[in-house]
């Protein structure tokens, strides 16, 4: 009987880690509440509620690193102007911030190594993208986001100017 109860409690504890939870309910995240899941000792931000002009994703929640933002996390906002992503973040999902009409500034931390397709598409006000100088995968130049040394443009403002483009010989 004791083993049955212990097994039940252990199962309930493991299951509770898979249930979406909210953070920032006390309003400390500039008017936003984050919805997240915990899996394998790290946090994935899966949703958000509330409003405000600045969204700063914390580096840790419940003592665990925030490592990813889910696909379609924050699409279509008409209020969001500034996004600050932590150094612990490794992955930004597909269309995570797409169609945020007033989004004008994004900061990407040092550990981000994957940005999903169209993560910042249809953000007509986006004029400033900054990347931590410690980031070894992405860089910002002239308010645009590039991957590595190559000119792989992920996002850019209307003011961004590309002065030259190199096309490899193997390109058909």
* Beta carbons within 8 Å of 167's beta carbon, 6+ residues apart: none
Residue 41 pLDDT more than 80? yes
**Beta-carbon-side half-sphere exposure of residue 23 (alpha carbons within 13 Å):** 22
> How many beta carbons lie within 10 A of that of residue 31, not counting itself?
15
Per DSSP, which regions of 57-169 are E strands? 60-61, 64-69, 82-84, 91-92, 105-108, 114-115, 128-131, 138-141, 144-147, 152-155
Domains along the sequence of the chain with CATH:
20-155 (3.80.10.10)
Does 99 or 146 have the greater pLDDT score?
A: 99
Residue pair 74/96 in contact (Cβ under 8 Å)? The answer is yes
pLDDT tens sequence across 100-155: 999 999 999 999 999 999 999 899 899 899 999 999 999 888 778 888 776 555 55
Does 44 or 12 have the greater pLDDT score?
A: 44
| Cα 87 to Cα 6, 51, 161, distances in angstroms | 38, 24, 28
Q: What is the mean pLDDT of residues 43-54?
A: 91
Q: What is the DSSP string of 4-34?
A: HHHHHHHHHHHHHTTS-EEE-TTSTTTTEEE
Backbone angles phi, psi at 2, to 5 degrees: -65, -40
If pLDDT is split at 50, 70 and 90, which confidence band does 169 have? low
Residue 69 pLDDT more than 90? yes
């Amino acid at each position: 009987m004791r083993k049955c109860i212990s097994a039940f409690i252990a199962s309930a504890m493991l299951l509770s880690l898979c249930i979406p939870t909210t953070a920032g309910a006390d309003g400390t995240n500039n008017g936003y509440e984050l919805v997240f899941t915990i899996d394998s000792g790290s946090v994935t931000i899966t949703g958000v509620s509330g409003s405000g002009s600045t969204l700063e994703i914390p580096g840790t929640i419940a003592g665990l690193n925030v490592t990813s933002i889910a696909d379609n996390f924050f699409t279509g906002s008409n209020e969001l102007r500034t996004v600050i992503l932590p150094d612990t973040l490794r992955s930004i999902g597909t269309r995570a911030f797409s169609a945020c009409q007033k989004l004008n500034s994004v900061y990407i931390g040092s550990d981000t190594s994957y940005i999903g397709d169209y993560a910042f598409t249809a953000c007509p006000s986006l004029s400033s993208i900054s990347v931590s100088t410690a980031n070894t995968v992405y860089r910002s130049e002239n308010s645009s986001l590039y991957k590595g040394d190559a000119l792989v443009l992920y996002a850019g403002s209307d003011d961004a100017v590309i002065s030259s483009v190199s096309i490899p010989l193997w390109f058909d």
